[in-house]
Structure formats: structure tokens, C-alpha cells
Amino acid sequence: MTHLSGYRIMWLMVLFDLPVVEREERRAYTRFRNYLLDRGFAQAQYSVYVRHTAGKEAAEALIRGIERAVPHDGKVDILLFTDKQYENIISFRGKANRFHPKNPDQLVLF
């Protein structure tokens, strides 16, 4: 029986700072944001998106795609950490209830 391990499941956190002064810069921002959303990322904060993957290989494939999608004048940082590390994130919110992605349910394949 194969179990998903909290040490194998990886999370990507994409943080970006893109210029949005000119019309074309805003378009590039929107294209990049939609690129992330189309690949299953969820918005954690403004310009911060997260997604889990089944392992490091899948995470690295996403990272290569993100690298190709970065707008010319943009700055993008990616944090990569295990599910076990992700569960230790401490998060505070005000009264507005915002989306917080939950850890994926563990699957048992037989």
C-alpha cells in the first residue's frame, strides 16, 4: 500500500513583484497571475500564491514553467517546502474570513 508522505508532498509558494504602471505592464501582470491560477495555484495574499504537488519532481516542473512565464521586468521568488513544514505555518487573520488552502487529504491506493 502506498501512502502519501508529509515529507514527500511539496508546497510551492510563489511571491512576485511586478510593475503595473504602464498598460502593457498591467497586462503582463494579469497574464502571469492567470498562468499561476491555471496551474492550480491559490492566492494566499496579494502577489503570493501557493500550490501543493505530489513530490519534488512535479514541483521542479512547475518551477521551470514559472521561470519561462516571468514578465521581463518582474521579480519572482519561489519557496519550496514539505507538507510537514507547511503544517507549522502560523497564520493570523482579521475579521474578514479569507481562503486558506488546506492540506490535501491523504489517499490510500490499493
Angle at 13 between CA 64 and CA 40, to 5 degrees: 70
Helix (H, G, I), strand (E, B) or coil at 1: coil
Angle at 82 between CA 92 and CA 34, to 5 degrees: 70
105 marked as binding residue: no
d(CA 87, CA 102): 9
Which positions make up the binding site for Mg(2+)? 17
Which positions make up the binding site? 17
